[in-house]
Amino acid sequence: MKALVYHGPGKKSWEEKPKPVVKEPTDAVVKIFKTTICGTDLHIMKGDLPTVTDGRIIGHEGVGIIDEAGSAVSNFKKGDHVLISCITACGKCEYCKKQMYSHCENGGWILGNLIDGTQAEYVRIPHADNSLYPIPAGADEEALVMLSDILPTGFECGVLSGQVKPGDTIAIVGAGPIGLAALLTAQFYTPAEIIMIDQDDNRLDIAKKFGATHIINSSNENAVKKVMTLTNSKGVDTAIEAVGIPATFELCQAIIGAGGNIANIGVHGKSVTLHLETLWSRNIIISTRLVDTVSTPMLLKTVNSGRLDPKKLITHHFTLDRIIEAYDTFENAAKEKALKVILTNE
Ligand SMILES: NC(=O)c1ccc[n+]([C@@H]2O[C@H](COP(=O)([O-])OP(=O)(O)OC[C@H]3O[C@@H](n4cnc5c(N)ncnc54)[C@H](O)[C@@H]3O)[C@@H](O)[C@H]2O)c1
Ligand SMILES: [Zn+2]
Ligand SMILES: [Zn+2]
């Protein structure tokens, strides 16, 4: 089969690899139908994630069809259409029992990281019963690719951890696919105001269309000042960090109101200054989270009923064999006006 293989920082190729096989009775081999590229894959390509080694097939999102199911897989059989979760969960360990699948002792985020991933014609999924979700008949499979990672991430790490409530004023820093997923799912709770902050005017315009009440381009406006003006100097109830750099976490600390929640989503590679000298007395909660994908079944229902339309996040389409071109587009997101790119295995 063909697959996108990582060969060290800045080096990738679309090359021949052996087709995966069932190794454990709980495994399933899935024929990829549609997959995509994540911001995290770009971090991998830069060499930011040392767990990813030369020869690894990357990618952790997608939908497909069961090609082979191990003898202990009871929820799926050959031919079933499935959604692949970016998180692998055994369902049996201490963390899985607590629904903290991200820290599963036999899984967690391993796909396209510690084991071969989804940017390939076939992928082996361990603990298939707990790591795949059945796709209901008639569902828009392309839209469901957004449920492998970005929607549960925006929802769980941003909206749930940030305790968004009706009537709240929230700010989301970063209008990439993850920040926009937080924007879409925050609206389950009808916050009164949603302030979106980014440096990319195209993404901010999209945020406005997706329901942001205010947009701030922090490269040409003083974001702290503007948020304080919008909130009568009170600050916001929830500040969601969806970038992953010190400047944006500092911004969240500067705009959080008394009693507020700072929900960090961003993957940080550098330490950040914690301003306890101003925050200690302000009854603030700060949360961090690796997505658990526990909300996937709920999100599937909201997508199927049309309450949530994640297809809005898809801007580009390629056939899977043009994945190198798709990476170029996604890497130049501002210039290409790209959000999520869909790759179809024809
Ligand atoms: N916690 C988790 O489980 C989890 C899961 C998936 C992704 N992530 C992380 O979430 C973050 C967002 O992911 P994404 O795919 O949307 O990334 P992205 O790179 O597509 O989007 C980031 C956005 O931040 C904006 N930005 C950059 N610098 C800024 C600044 N100084 N001020 C304001 N905006 C700025 C960019 O213009 C861009 O729109 C990444 O750090 C990613 O690794 C975390
Ligand atoms: Zn991802
Ligand atoms: Zn487990």
Residues with Cβ–ion distance below 5 A, ligand 2: 38, 40, 149
**Per-residue model confidence as pLDDT tens digits over 112-170:** 999 999 999 999 999 999 999 999 888 999 999 999 999 999 999 999 999 999 999 99
- Ligand 1 atom closest to 339 (CA): 20
Q: Taking CB atoms and a 6 Å cutoff, what residues make up the pocket around ligand 1?
A: 38-40, 43, 149, 153, 157, 173-179, 197-200, 203, 218, 242-245, 247-248, 265-267, 289-291
- Ligand 1 atom closest to 40 (CA): 43
pLDDT attached to residue 270: 87
For the chain, what percentages of helix, strand and coil (3-state, to nearest 5) are there? 30, 25, 40
Average pLDDT over residues 273-277: 97
Find the 229 Cα to ligand 2 centroid distance in Å. Answer: 34
Closest residue CA from atom 41 of ligand 1: 266
pLDDT attached to residue 268: 86
pLDDT, averaged across the chain = 97
pLDDT attached to residue 201: 94
Of 227, 243, 288, the one to substitute when testing ligand 1's pocket (max ligand atoms within 8 A of C-beta) is 243
Question: Is a pLDDT exceeding 90 seen at residue 1?
Answer: yes
pLDDT attached to residue 179: 98
Q: What percent of the chain has pLDDT over 70?
A: 100
Find the 244 Cα to ligand 1 centroid distance in Å. Answer: 6
Nearest ligand to the CA of 101 is 3
Largest Cα–Cα separation, the chain? 62
Find the 286 Cα to ligand 3 centroid distance in Å. Answer: 26
pLDDT attached to residue 64: 98
pLDDT attached to residue 314: 97
Find the 210 Cα to ligand 2 centroid distance in Å. Answer: 21
Question: Is a pLDDT exceeding 90 seen at residue 178?
Answer: yes
Cα distance between residue 177 and residue 218, in whole Å: 18
Question: Is a pLDDT exceeding 90 seen at residue 245?
Answer: yes
pLDDT attached to residue 142: 95
Tokens read off for 317: 């389409």
Q: Sorting pLDDT into bands at 50, 70 and 90, what band is 43? A: confident
Question: Is a pLDDT exceeding 90 seen at residue 48?
Answer: no
Question: Is a pLDDT exceeding 90 seen at residue 55?
Answer: yes
Question: Is a pLDDT exceeding 90 seen at residue 269?
Answer: no
Closest residue CA from atom 21 of ligand 1: 176
Neighbouring C-beta atoms of residue 318, cutoff 10 Å: 17
Cα distance between residue 42 and residue 114, in whole Å: 16
Distances (CA, A) of 292 to 151, 161, 248, 252, 268: 11, 12, 23, 23, 18
Tokens read off for 323: 């994945």
pLDDT attached to residue 240: 98
- Ligand 1 atom closest to 268 (CA): 41
**Per-residue model confidence as pLDDT tens digits over 79-112:** 999 999 999 999 999 999 999 999 999 999 999 9
Cα distance between residue 175 and residue 71, in whole Å: 43
Q: Tell me the three state secondary structure of residue 61.
A: coil
Average pLDDT over residues 220-244: 97
